[in-house]
Amino acid sequence: MRIRIVDAFTDRPFAGNPAGVLLLDGDGFPGDGWLQDVAVEVNHAETAFAHRLPAGGDADWALRWFTPVTEVAMCGHATLATAHVLHTTGTHEGPVRFATRSGVLVATPAADGAITLDFPTAPLTSVAVPDGVAEALGAEPVAAFDTGANVGDLLVELADEKTVRGLAPDHKALAAYSARGIIATARADDPAGGYDYLSRCFFPNVGIDEDPVTGSAHTALAPHWSARLGRPDLTGLQASPRTGLVRTGLRGERTLLTGRAVTVIEGELHADPDA
C-alpha cells in the first residue's frame, strides 16, 4: 500500500506538523499491534490510518491515529493530512466525513487548497494552577484550565509572547499534570503580525516532548481566546521550531480549524499486516 508523509498546517515542505498517512484496502483495520508498529516506524507525532466505509452511512471513511507510543482520541493535523491525501489523489471529492473515536469529523476543501476541519469544541474548566507546574514549565501561569476528555491537556496562559517562546520545560516533570500534556499560550504581542495568539504544546505522556502544530489543542485555544478577544474568528501561531498557523472559528459546540498541507514523501509500505 502507499504511504505518505504530509506536512500539515503549512503551505511549504519541512514546516508545520508531519504525519504519516495510510489509506487501507478492505473494509476494516488490521490488528492494533501492526498499526502501532507502523506508527513506531514512521516515528512522527501521529500516523493516520483510514479505510473506506459503505455508501449511505453517517461517514465516508473510518479514521484512527497513533503516536509512536499509543492510540489517541483526537488529532487535528493528521486528519488534515488524510483529507489532503484523499483530495489531491482524487480518491474523494468534496467534504469528507470521518468516523473516529471523537465522533464524526468533517473536512471540507476550498478552491484555494485550504481545508477546514469541523471538530468538537473543548469544554474549558477553570482550575487552580497545580503545585509544581510553574517549576516544571519554567514560567508562572496566570491561569489554568482543564480541556476535557477529548483533548486531555492542561491549558495554561502565560504572561506574554516572550515567555511562551522562551520556555525550556522539564518534560518528564510535566507528565504528572494531565492525561496528554500541557498547552502553554499567550496573546500575540503585535496583532498586526498575522496571528492573534500563540501556543506551544508539550505531550510527554504520548511520547511527544513538543508537538510542532496541534489541531486538537486549538479546539481549546479557540474558545479561550475568542472569549478574551471578543471575536469568533482568530488565527493561532504554534511557535515550535517548525511553526504553523491554524485559523480558528468558534461555532458554539463546534470549532472550525483551517489550514493547508503539503505531501513531502510518497512511497510503498512492504510490511503486510496479514503476513
Rounded Cα distance between 52 and 23, Å, is 8
Share of the chain above pLDDT 70, in %: 100
* Predicted pLDDT at 36: 97
Question: Which neighbouring-strand residues pair with 182?
Answer: 154, 202
Return the C-alpha cell found at 158. 502565560
Query: Does the domain spanning 2-114+260-268 belong to CATH 3.10.310.10?
Result: yes
Give the CA dihedral 202, 215, 212, 36, nearest 10 degrees. Answer: 80
pTM, entire model:
0.95
Identify the active-site residue in 41, 46, 71, 266: 46
What is the topology classification, in CATH, of domain 125-253? Diaminopimelate Epimerase; Chain A, domain 1 (3.10.310)
Q: Are 124 and 151 in contact, with CB atoms under 8 Å apart?
A: no
* Predicted pLDDT at 26: 86
- Cell 508523509, residue? 5
pLDDT at 54 over 90: yes
Query: Is residue 46 annotated as a catalytic residue, yes or no?
Result: yes
The tens digit of pLDDT for each residue in 135-157 reads 999 999 999 999 999 899 999 99
Return the C-alpha cell found at 231. 471575536
Strand 71-72 relative to strand 233-238, pairing: unpaired
Give CATH 3.10.310.10 domain extents, the chain. 2-114+260-268, 125-253
Return the C-alpha cell found at 64. 484512527
The tens digit of pLDDT for each residue in 188-206 reads 999 899 999 999 999 999 9
